[in-house]
């Protein structure tokens, strides 16, 4: 069997809001993925995921 699943703790930098440059990178990566996802390198897909997750920081939080 394969190795057991392990949880990874993300670095604090992943909790920061996106800079303007990162938003532009996220949009560019999204357009490339929408156009032809098979052409995207794995590293670029992972970068998109990182930026996308960071863009969601604080969204959906409830106000008490």
- In order of 22, 25, 30, 31, 49, the CA distances from 39 in angstroms are 21, 17, 12, 12, 16
* Higher per-residue pLDDT: 52 or 17: 52
Enumerate the domain spans of the chain. Answer: 18-55
Q: What is the pLDDT of residues 28-46, one digit of tens each?
A: 999 999 998 888 999 999 9
Residue 4 confidence class, pLDDT cut points 50, 70, 90: low
Instruction: Count CA atoms within 13 Å of residue 41 on its CB side.
Output: 3
pTM of the prediction?
A: 0.67
Mean pLDDT score, 46-57: 91
9 vs 18, more confident: 18
The predicted model gives 3-17 an average pLDDT of 58
């Amino acid at each position: 069997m394969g190795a057991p699943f392990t949880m990874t703790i993300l670095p604090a930098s992943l909790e920061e809001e996106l800079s303007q440059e990162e938003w532009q990178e996220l949009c560019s990566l999204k357009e490339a993925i929408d156009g032809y996802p098979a052409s995207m390198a794995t590293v670029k897909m992972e970068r998109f995921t990182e930026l996308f997750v960071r863009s969601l920081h604080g969204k959906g939080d409830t106000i008490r």
